[in-house]
Structure 1
């Protein structure tokens, strides 16, 4: 059986990665998305095992020690990671696997999977990114400020990736993603 394709989608928090991945999955049910693990508490409406695997810090750190993560990073005080075995099993089945992860994680995945297709999603501007973060209503003002500060550093990494797309029109960016993934 032919090995699958790993597609890494990254960019700053609030840039629209999640929206784009949901649209890709709605249009292309043959795609698989990897569910990340995190130590942050669930947000309203999030389901364990679907949105994230919600773990205690102790559980997460034990899994790090056992090498169970393809990548992991600490972001705004919480740990996030991609479960290695789940991704490898999907790829062995010939599936196209999407990873929606942050920039440091994307760099770590590149070490293990240099053949992965890596896509960086950019905001039209930092002002637009700030408005999106405020509009989604999930973070405190201090968390938003922290995410914006971190975004400035992350944006400098865009040139490291195979593709960079400015998310100024979700329909246009979706078409661009489809061209990258399916061509």
Structure 2
């Protein structure tokens, strides 16, 4: 499993994607997770809590998914947007080749465009998250600071467990987890013996 931390001022019920306020979706819409316990603790200050997450290692990340620009533009027509003309132009045309229509657009690029035009928060951000999930984009990946990685969960089905961790339980958990890439490599190595056993090797 991919192991991550989340810090929250309040945490109740099961994980769900909620509308975020302006300035609170700097990496796109979703649930923000970090490999750094210290970072998570900073978001939990003032009576908040730490939440430990385990995610499906087969998660499909935004940088792995190509989208149809025409389909993306159709979605954009249905939601309220800031900087609509700029956004639609950047979705339709290649960045480095003005006037050339895109054949595909990477989901990660589309998320970046939505962030840069201030469209990743509020109801539009939530609708965009639903759009991504419907196209098979389950999460975004971001290198934050130093060796710290962030995962932004778009699709809550990838969450295999989430539990509050109290001060007297912290010794049972890693303070910081390895980079996401390293965790994924470890998961693949653990799968090989199981696969070989299934094949009778």
TM-score (norm 1): 0.26
Which structure's CA Rg is the greater one?
Answer: 2
